[in-house]
Chain A
């Protein structure tokens, strides 16, 4: 089981979010991050946020939002693209959900 974080905010809010998750990391909780809406741009960076890399966050981006913003050609290797069924599956597998949109 893991903590699922749905993030749709701007990049500057990601720092606060990751800071607030530090206790979860300390407990060894696995954190999965789903990027939605404008936050999908974070998946398009050639180098996604260093903090995400450092914390080894499993990162997903929602296919529909990626297509809408034409981000497909620029996706970072680490980011996995999911459709709505994949998102539901992640929800079902998670112990709890943090929604930050």
Chain B
């Protein structure tokens, strides 16, 4: 059977909404950067992804996280926060005894409940967790 690759235009008509879930810990920062890079690439292709931080990855949004001074990381996060918005799973914050005020204020993260997050998953055509 011969298979044909889709063009970007075709992909855009198939994929209506994308959700990138960032869940890896700071020790796996490469994966997180990759997720942010994918999200940036999607914006470059006129596809606006939604971005959800959960589990260990909430530490990336912490004011004192060790990647804070990494220019590339800060640029990705700030751009994505401004263009796509950043959502954080409430239970992941609670599990780590973190509050909204512990997160980087300029990113304006939106805390959402598990049921709201579940709705995001349900509404998305493409979901990638890294």
Asked if B89 and A23 sit within 8 Å, CB to CB, the answer is no
Q: Which of B40-48, B66-74, B77-85, B110-118 contacts A (4 or more CB under 8 A)?
A: B110-118
Interface bits A52-76 vs B (CB < 8 Å: 1, else 0)? 0000000000000000000000000
Contacts of B61 in A (CB 8 A): none
Contact of A99 with B by CB under 8 A: yes
Asked if B118 and A100 sit within 8 Å, CB to CB, the answer is no
> A13 and B126 in contact (CB under 8 A), knowing A20-B117, A23-B118?
no
Contacts of B121 in A (CB 8 A): 20-21, 23-24, 98
Contact of B54 with A by CB under 8 A: yes
Contact of A51 with B by CB under 8 A: no
Asked if A9 and B23 sit within 8 Å, CB to CB, the answer is yes
Asked if A23 and B119 sit within 8 Å, CB to CB, the answer is yes
Contact of B107 with A by CB under 8 A: no
Of chain A, the residue at the smallest CB distance from B127 is: A98
Contact of B125 with A by CB under 8 A: yes
Asked if B127 and A19 sit within 8 Å, CB to CB, the answer is no
Contact of A96 with B by CB under 8 A: yes
Contact of B55 with A by CB under 8 A: yes
| B-binding residues in A (CB < 8 A) | 9, 12-13, 16-17, 19-24, 27, 96-101
- Top 3 closest pairs, chain A to chain B, by CB: A23-B118, A23-B122, A100-B129
A-B contact pairs, 6 of them (CB 8 A): A13-B55, A16-B54, A16-B55, A16-B89, A23-B121, A100-B129
